[in-house]
Amino acid sequence: MTSPGPAASRALRLRLRQPDQRSCGAAVLVVTEVLTNEAYAAWLANGGADRFEDEVLAMHRRATGPIDAAGRIQAPWTRLLGTPPWAVSRQLTARRGRPHQMHPVLPWSRTQALDEIRTAAVLDAVPLFVGSVLPRHVVLVLDADLTTYDPASGRTRTVDAEEFAAGRIRDLAWPVPWFWVSPR
């Protein structure tokens, strides 16, 4: 993906952390908007961590509520379980004006999924759901080098491709990739 603008870079230096244990998907959606909307990034950066927290909690309500960002009815989802991949996909579709879809990362085709994620990340940031037995956390792959924003820490890390393919990612809170979301 192209380099973030000055306001987006300033916002990311704030180490934007999710405000609770359930809002990682919403934090990823807010950061995705920061990366593509310089005016929004400047507004958010000027408000600091408190504004980010407010935006993430509002995004979490929208993404898991009965109406999606496009005004369509969606099956509500209990916020206690976080943000499901289909809600991230629908939110990005509505915000970006082009269809997004979720893709499973199957154990026997992780290398292929990794190649597809890298290709997609050249054009746009890619939400990635990770976990252990189940998907439990969402991070944002920022580029083809697998630089990843982790909303739990507010920092970026580079994911090792071999660890990804083996389903044993050490640098994230959860080791197994489960789903990713990209434009169709």
Question: What's the CATH number where 67 sits?
Answer: 3.90.70
Q: What is the pLDDT of residue 2?
A: 59
**Band (5; pLDDT cuts 50, 70, 90):** confident
Number of domains observed in the structure of the chain: 1
Cα separations (Å) of 118 from 16, 61, 102? 24, 30, 15
pLDDT at 161 (0 to 100): 96
> What value, to the nearest 5°, has the Cα angle with vertex 53 and ends 13 and 84?
100
pLDDT tens profile 57-95: 999 988 888 887 778 888 767 767 788 898 899 899 988
The tokens of 138 are what? 């969402």
- Provide the pLDDT for residue 1: 64
Q: How far apart are CA 150 and CA 145, in angstroms?
A: 15
Confidence of residue 108 (pLDDT cuts 50, 70, 90): very high
Q: What is the rounded distance in angstroms from the CA atom of residue 80 to the CA atom of residue 29?
A: 17
Decide if 30 is inside a domain: yes
Contact yes or no for 136/28 (Cβ under 8 A): no
Residue 1 lies in a domain: no
Q: Is residue 105 part of a domain?
A: yes
pTM value > 0.85: yes
Q: Average pLDDT of 154-168?
A: 94
Confidence of residue 158 (pLDDT cuts 50, 70, 90): very high
* Boundaries of domain holding 109: 6-183
Q: What is the mean pLDDT of residues 107-117?
A: 97
- CA gap 61, 70 in Å, rounded: 14
